[in-house]
Structure 1
Amino acid sequence: MSEGFVQQSAEHSSELVIDEVVTYKVREGVAVVSMSRPEYNNAQNSQMTYALDKAFRLACDDDEVKVIILAGEGKHFSAGHDIGTPGRDVDKSFERTSLWYDHTNKPGGEFLYAREQEVYLGMCRRWREIPKPTIAMVQGACVAGGLMLAWVCDLIVCSDDSFFQDPVVRMGIPGVEYFAHVHELNPRIAKEFLFLGERMPAARAYEMGMVNRVVPREALLEITHTMAAKIAAMPRLGLQLTKQAINNAEDLMGKRSTMDMVFGLHHFAHVHNESVSGDKLGGFDAKAMANANKKQVAGQEPKGKSNGASAREAS
């Protein structure tokens, strides 16, 4: 068993906890990879990102696994990148999964550029190319970095109370590192999504073609697993080739090259922020982003109503 894995049970299905922040279960050909930081709305620190990578590797290496479900434990799917929890570990070294060098001792803009090539852009691109169908099972908030995790999956099934948001233009940053906005949404809607930074409810995300199904919260687990079971009955190679064909078609339409271009702009924004304000995020932390979100929601919704996540949703 690899370092960091704690086996809980392995009778007819395997059930693991990986580095304390991700759970991994396999049953009847379906692997469920679950983010497990519910106390922070599954805000993604590096520990979680590397644990997700280990879980996806397990699923890829297991011939019994035909389909992978990505989930988040608790009220929300993911609050995005960790920019303010006690477990924030941006300055910590991890055993890298790519050929990018360690970022922790690098100066200036190189610090974040090297880190995010590895943990954000690099990992998300690799996960998109997992040679097995993947389904994101989304409830509650799917914000900023949470979008990246959902978007790398082949299908998205979400609860009717879920919402999607990329509010990082508030920081002067043109969207998250895995910039798929103009492929997940048409360009004019992508501009609205980013310019306003508002929450897109599940129903509108479905209208825009960003999600496959919107279901009642209480039926989310059952419907997602039923869909996964139907896919798992298909031939493995047929599924892989179909996924490869569609991913390649997206890349021919410019998805990968757009991502490369925006990643450079994203890091120019970080360096500009640091030069002007002394902070790579333009002076925003988790609390400030959450407060800005609350004010925005209060202006959008009738008084007394809110479907808001808590303090770290808008990272």
Structure 2
Amino acid sequence: MSGSVTYDVDGGVAVVTLRRPDKLNALSPRMVDDLQEIWQRFADGDERAAVLTAEGERSFCAGIDLGDVTHDMWRCVPGLSADLDKPVVAAVSGHCIGAGWVLAQYSDLVVATETARFAYPEGRVGAFGGLASGIVARVPQKVAAEFLMLGEPMPAARAYDVGMINAVVAPGEHTATAMAWARKLAAAAPLVIKTAKTLIDQHIGQTAVEQHVRTARLLGRVTASDDLQEGLAAFRERREPRFSGQ
């Protein structure tokens, strides 16, 4: 990994940290690659919960780095880049913009500081990846329309009032609070947490864009598989294929 994203383990909790504070933790293509790898590592690992946080108080994530644009940011989103049956708690301070807000939205729980500001100003830069439409399943429709179309920053207090986040804490306390929640989740009955998360995700994760992303990811595994190459080679060589399931 590049060092712009780190993965640490604290007991049964994975701590995923965006570490590009000089760029307000804006997502570069390399960070998207790293996060995709990290969510798969979390899915496969023994950690029972994760905290997604960021270095610095000024910004959780300022969105896609417009100087180094990636067009497939879905690969860094928890629950989309890899199937997760374990919860993710986002700890947000400062700016949470565009793709950064998507990262928080697709986390299971969100703790934010009083100074956090959420915004989706993509209409000002002519970009829209579609994942943000998932907000309609998470907050009232009029609030979703206001947030996505007007693009005005929403303070943490209002984000809490409309159900976009779970808690508002004093500056500097967001990560500690998120860690405390994650430890509770990690100590709870794993089957109960897994079942609750799965049912919640099935209920809210049904937008056309989300289904398209999941389908594309599944088909991509086949396209990139060793089995496909083996099948093609066996056809050319007129022999029975030896599939490995990889």
Q: Same fold by TM-score, threshold 0.5 exceeded? A: yes
Matches within 5 A, 1:198-237: 198-237=152-191
| 8 A contact 2:63–2:97 mirrored in 1 | yes
Pair 1:234–1:154, CA change in 2 (3 A): same
Pair 1:191–1:200, CA change in 2 (3 A): same
| 8 A contact 1:148–1:176 mirrored in 2 | no
| Structure 1: gaps (5+ residues) | 1-17, 91-114, 262-315
| 8 A contact 1:158–1:211 mirrored in 2 | yes
Shift of 1:43: 0.5
Task: Report the RMSD for the aligned CA atoms in angstroms.
Answer: 2.3
Is 1:72 the counterpart of 2:54? The answer is yes
Shift of 1:47: 0.2
Residues 185-240 of structure 1 show CA distances to partners (whole Å, capped at 9, x for unaligned) of 21111111123211000000000001001100122222111111111111222211
Is 1:27 the counterpart of 2:5? The answer is no
CA distance in 2, matches of 1:123, 1:195: 22
> Between Structure 1 and Structure 2, how many residues are aligned?
212
CA distance in 1, matches of 2:81, 2:87: 11
CA distance in 2, matches of 1:184, 1:195: 16
Instruction: Name which of 25, 30, 44 aligns with 2:27.
Output: 44
Pair 1:120–1:258, CA change in 2 (3 A): closer
CA distance in 2, matches of 1:201, 1:175: 23
CA distance in 2, matches of 1:178, 1:121: 14
Instruction: Name which of 183, 201, 204 aligns with 1:247.
Output: 201
Q: TM-score, normalised by structure 2?
A: 0.78
Residues 133-167 of structure 1 show CA distances to partners (whole Å, capped at 9, x for unaligned) of 11011100000010111111100011110010001
Matches within 5 A, 1:49-198: 49-63=32-46, 65-74=47-56, 75-84=58-67, 88=68, 90=70, 115-116=71-72, 119-120=73-74, 123=77, 125-127=79-81, 129-173=83-127, 176-198=130-152
| 8 A contact 2:32–2:76 mirrored in 1 | no
CA distance in 2, matches of 1:214, 1:128: 29
CA distance in 2, matches of 1:249, 1:123: 18
For 2:53, the aligned partner's letter is A
CA distance in 1, matches of 2:195, 2:132: 23
CA distance in 1, matches of 2:45, 2:129: 35
For 1:257, the aligned partner's letter is A
CA distance in 2, matches of 1:156, 1:123: 14
CA distance in 2, matches of 1:258, 1:207: 27
| Structure 2: gaps (5+ residues) | 213-246
CA distance in 1, matches of 2:13, 2:114: 24
For 2:52, the aligned partner's letter is L
Shift of 1:61: 2.0
For 1:223, the aligned partner's letter is T
CA distance in 2, matches of 1:202, 1:46: 28
CA distance in 2, matches of 1:160, 1:127: 30
For 2:51, the aligned partner's letter is I
Q: TM-score, normalised by structure 1?
A: 0.62
Equivalent residue, structure 1, for 2:241:
none
